[in-house]
Amino acid sequence: MDPNYRLCLINPPITPEEKYGIKEFGSSGGRQMPLGIFYIASFLIEKGIDVKIIDADAECLDDGEIINRIRTYNADVVGITSTTMGFHRAHDVARKIKEYDEDLPILLGGSHVTALPEYSMSFACFDYGIIGEGEITTYQLLQAIKDHSDPKDVDGIIYKKEGEIIRTRPRKYIENLDILPFPARHLVPIKLYKLPAMDYRRDPALTLLTSRGCPNQCIFCDRNVFGQRYREHSAEYVVAEIDELVEKYGAKEVAFMDDTFTINKRRVERIMELMKERGHELDWSCMARVNTVDKEFLQKMKASGCWHIAYGIESGDQDVLDFIKKNITLEQIRRTVQYTEDAGIESKGFFIIGHLVDTKESIEKTIQFAKSLPLSEAFVTLNTPIPNTEQYKIAERYGNLSTSDWSKFSYYRPVFVPARLDEEYLLRMRKKFYREFYIHPKRVINHLKKIRSGVDVKRYANALNSFSYFVRRGR
């Protein structure tokens, strides 16, 4: 393709209040690189397209500054990524771009347009929608736009033609992920990104994604973009990317952002072997399910440099776990968290308040269960039925779901309220959860023991800021 053809990819700006419902959240929530558009950028660059990324969220740019960047870059096409919660900001940016240049084609990608394609494309400022994985689809669509041809043969898109919205055949998932080049991290200053305060120990700590798709059945899981078919990069690919993170960006720690990094134990073991062969003395962390690790495997992970694992626990009530198709038991959770503690690895538990079938009793069970576990941290969100998930389709049978404002779909604001409960109760219970979990002598002492450097002091100060806000205000 013509190397002078310019694409500008935009990650819209979202304020801390919009993300977390809290103006004072500060830097505690971190700011992670939106790897999806960086993968698309690298794939297109390899195909000869001139790509620029405007991460307006990371740089805190307003709409006017975004327009100025587009004007300076003289973009031929603009692509905007959007989650459900950020859709209003994607729309705002697109509308302003059209005011600047009504003929500039705008592509919309991400989870929201994939979940609700017709709805998303009903807004006049969007010309094309990318449904699902974006690398190959975006390349083929750009070719059609450049040639002024009908994109009807481009799989995985939705577009407008003569007032009609047209959706093409679904795009097949990329089976061999190793064909993708590493994300084009060089397009945005790496210093703009930082993990949440308590999710790293050494700076710079950089993120990578080594698989796509989740094979599990959880009814709340957003699998809109990558689907349910599990696909993975080879261990060799992963460690080659780690080589780049260390050599080019100075990484001292890496965080594997896969939904479940430990699905394929053999691959993880090979990654650990290769990291040792390369002499990488990195701290690393990951997310896992309690039924994918065991005592011996956790010890191997610790020996390789793993210091932190986040587990999706979700509830302390077995009936709720069964309903949400988590396919784990309370005993498995208790055993695995203890094994993690015994191995010397810190653990975080992800919990959700306000499941479709949650009651006052089940929420209280969850709080007490969390307190009984040797977790280092707990992270609590409000149940948020994301469009096109299984629970979204049935939510109104079990309570009240409000879809009038997508910006509230942040996991921090109550958009779904189970029957016989109310919004204020859910917020009070989140406040109670945090207060009772963290304000405990043993946990306080354990965290104090971990403060060994100025970096630790800063991390804990940031975390304490957000924690105190949740406890004081409960919102």
Q: What is the pLDDT along the chain (475 residues), one digit of tens a residue?
A: 666 799 999 999 987 777 766 655 555 668 899 999 999 999 999 999 999 999 999 999 999 999 999 999 999 999 999 999 999 999 999 999 999 999 999 999 999 999 999 999 999 999 999 999 999 999 999 999 999 999 999 999 999 998 899 999 999 999 999 999 999 999 999 999 999 888 999 999 999 999 999 999 999 999 999 998 999 999 999 999 999 999 999 999 999 999 999 999 999 999 999 999 999 999 999 999 999 999 999 999 999 999 999 999 999 999 999 999 999 999 999 999 999 999 999 999 999 999 999 999 999 999 999 999 999 999 999 999 999 999 999 999 999 999 999 999 999 999 999 999 999 999 999 999 999 999 877 776 666 666 666 666 666 666 665 555 555 554 4
How many structural domains does the chain have? 2
How far apart CA 354 and CA 342 sit, in angstroms, is 32
Phi, psi angle pair for 376, to nearest 5°? -75, -35
Residue 204 within a domain = yes
Is residue 227 domain-resident?
yes
Both 135 and 270 in one domain: the answer is: no
Q: Is position 172 within any domain? A: no
CATH of the domain at 383: 3.20.20.70
**Is 318 exposed, middle or buried, given 0-12, 13-18 or 19+ CB atoms closer than 10 A?**
middle
Q: Are residues 245 and 342 in the same domain?
A: yes
Asked if 108 and 11 sit in the same domain, the reply is yes
- Answer yes or no: are the C-beta atoms of 222 and 269 closer than 8 Å: no
The pLDDT value recorded for residue 475 is 45
**What residues pair up with 313 in beta bridges, in sequence order?**
none
Distance (Å, whole) CA 188 – CA 190: 6
Does some domain include residue 361?
yes
Residues 140 and 262 in one domain: no
- Establish if 179 belongs to a structural domain: no
3-state secondary structure 403-469: CCCHHHCCCCCCCEEECCCCHHHHHHHHHHHHHHHHCCHHHHHHHHHCCCCHHHHHHHHHHHHHHHH
Using CA atoms, how far apart are residues 214 and 381, in angstroms rounded to an integer? 20
Q: Do 109 and 231 lie in a common domain?
A: no
Tell whether 84 is covered by a domain.
yes
* In a shared domain, residues 434 and 317: yes
**What is the residue range of 364's domain?**
194-473
For residue 86, the domain's CATH number is 3.40.50.280
The pTM of the whole model exceeds 0.85: yes
Residue ending a domain, among 167, 185, 203, is 167
What's the pLDDT at 452? 66
* DSSP bridge pairs for 254: 206, 284
Predicted confidence at residue 109, as pLDDT, reads 98
Measured between alpha carbons, how far is 397 from 388 in angstroms, rounded to an integer?
16
Q: Does residue 284 belong to any structural domain of this protein?
A: yes
137 and 207 inside one domain? no
**426 and 335, same domain (yes or no):** yes
- Whether 411 and 368 share a structural domain: yes
Rounded CA separation 160/182 (Å)? 32
Ramachandran angles phi, psi of 50, nearest 5°: -85, 115
Q: Which residues contact 401 (CB under 8 A, 6 or more apart)?
A: 385, 392, 395, 415, 416
The verdict on residue 299 lying in a domain is yes
| Same domain membership, residue 248 and residue 160 | no
Q: Give pLDDT, residue 163.
A: 86
Same domain, 200 and 162: no
Q: DSSP 3-state helix, strand, coil percentages of the chain (rounded to 5)?
A: 45, 15, 40
Residues 436, 313 share a domain: yes
Sequence-distant (≥ 6) Cβ neighbours of residue 135 within 8 angstroms: 39, 40, 43, 44, 174, 180
